[in-house]
Structure 1
């Protein structure tokens, strides 16, 4: 078998292996993220249900104690208030829970507000009338305190007073219910959005992998065709970068020193490829123990070589400065850039890697970052400023 065919075959097998690894990695991200979002927690549901019963019990106990005993203590006639409210209490519970678990879900949440309000008013009027009728009928009962007879008569004053109280307690419980549902809905939306952004962030990070590896493999392929003695060294450095990108970059944050160390490895790779045609000015200043999100800087560095290497201006001079100061990291890159026919805008030329990172920056920092990309006099410049911790 000719040597070139053997090299091509080995190169093809390496590409297939890397593709399988990256596809499996992306699949694991999707599956783990989906399970985290949809996996039910029956234990949590049980705790919420038990807490709900406890909260309801405490609320109604406070209402009963206040109306049956505290007001009676103030009026110096606990027997009268306890008797009256004990008879009214089941009617209050009935109208409140009928409203909370039937009228609100069936009509209010269905945006049938007029019908909801009409049914609620009608029920309050009827329940209040039945309640007062029962109190009036029990005036002669042995348990009825004589002092309560005045409050038990079916009169307009008593009806209005009890109607006001019943409407107030119904409105209070409705407000608590709707406020709680609104807060839960906002929380669910926030959790769903956070899960969506987390999944998108992980997928964006995983997209950097094929973009980076295929660019590097193309360079490796070219060296293999030339039977360059540099190919083994490039493979070794690429292996270290692959380990970092595929496995170590899954952490939420990484020290700047670690990120810049792998940037240096990438620069070494490109230096092997370009040889004496390339002049690199790479500097790191400040506290490199600060932590940043992994793989935010590498695409900008890669972009410098990708388009700087296409320049026909002679020597390729690339300047890279990373500076950490006042809890912010600044990245400056500068490389030669030549406009090619068929390219519509500068943004279309910066490649998928930069567009990917821009989206990650938006998710991670919202508006708390600065990214400036410019081109002048055939020099391409990038300035990035992000917070570090």
Structure 2
């Protein structure tokens, strides 16, 4: 129903556009130059002649263009266009002239050439404006389609976040439950809080920056329980407030990977450092650094679904407005992300 209404609206706009266009062309056709003076020739012959052009333009614009031109059948279009132009000249020279000027006008070669020039100029103008109109509307449709594709892709990427998070944390929770660890209730409570934020507070495209950082803090605390006394986690926040908005759940993956990669082949002296701040230019700067010990399992996990997911989301949400740098050297893995945020 909505699509039908949109098409009806576009059809009304095009009808108005064509009426205005035809009136303008008709106005210029009535202007003549007699001895340096502008003279308006407006009579039944001009009306009949222009009606001939209107009929020809309808055939060209609404039959030939969609049937041949837009399907790239240019030869068929050119031949059909030529036949219509010849028909217009034939009607004007052998019918309209004889009706309105039976004694003064006789069809001859010179008259045919003049009619050809006028017919081509009028029909090319009307046909060209129709092509321009269709091109503008087709570009609008393409732009809307791109937006729909972008939104669909973002929805798909967002739908992967929660399952990915649950997959990793439920495995950890299962291990604690099997060991009957006293920290199991605390982990369940932390997991519940993080999921609540994901499910109920992240439905908009952007969230307040401070809310996202608070969520990240809870997220880190949830993972920090897993390393116990095997290392240290440092989280620094500077100049973060609600004056800025950010896409939700962009930062989780980097923190999650830091904990996962540090624990893969390392049993102690785990060091993870996370910092978040807004600089004087309004850019959000995020860094996440962790140490690790090389292993085949760790090597394969640097290219998991989470990291590829967040790269695609950043590309779609912040095109030309973000800089992501990931470096790995001397058993240190670092992530640096800079995003140009929008103020509220």
TM-score above 0.5: yes
What per-residue deviation string (whole Å, max 9, x for no partner) do you get for residues 179-210 of structure 1? 22222222222222221121111111110111
| Higher strand residue share | 2
Residues 1-389 of structure 1: pairs in structure 2 closer than 5 A: 40-68=2-30, 70-71=31-32, 78=40, 80-139=41-100, 152-289=105-242, 290-312=244-266, 314-325=268-279, 326-341=281-296, 346=299, 348-389=301-342
Shift of 1:378: 1.1
Shift of 1:116: 1.5
Unaligned 5+ runs, structure 1 = 1-38, 142-148
Residues 135 and 153 of structure 1 are in contact (CA less than 8 Å); yes or no, is this contact kept in structure 2? no
Unaligned 5+ runs, structure 2 = none
Q: Secondary structure at the match of 2:236?
A: strand
CA distance in 1, matches of 2:219, 2:288: 15
Shift of 1:96: 0.9
Q: Secondary structure at the match of 1:200?
A: helix
Residues 264 and 297 of structure 2 are in contact (CA less than 8 Å); yes or no, is this contact kept in structure 1? no
Greater relative contact order (Cα < 8 A, sep 6+): 1
| Higher helix residue share | 1
Residues 265 and 295 of structure 2 are in contact (CA less than 8 Å); yes or no, is this contact kept in structure 1? no
Indicate how the Cα distance of structure 1 residues 291 and 136 shifts in structure 2: closer, same or farther if over 3 A, else same: closer
Shift of 1:278: 2.9
What per-residue deviation string (whole Å, max 9, x for no partner) do you get for residues 1-39 of structure 1? xxxxxxxxxxxxxxxxxxxxxxxxxxxxxxxxxxxxxx7
The alignment's TM-score, normalised by the length of structure 2, stands at 0.90
The alignment's TM-score, normalised by the length of structure 1, stands at 0.80
CA RMSD of aligned residues (A): 2.3
Q: How many correspondences in the alignment?
A: 339
CA distance in 2, matches of 1:75, 1:94: 32
CA distance in 2, matches of 1:255, 1:200: 23
Shift of 1:333: 1.0
CA distance in 1, matches of 2:145, 2:187: 43
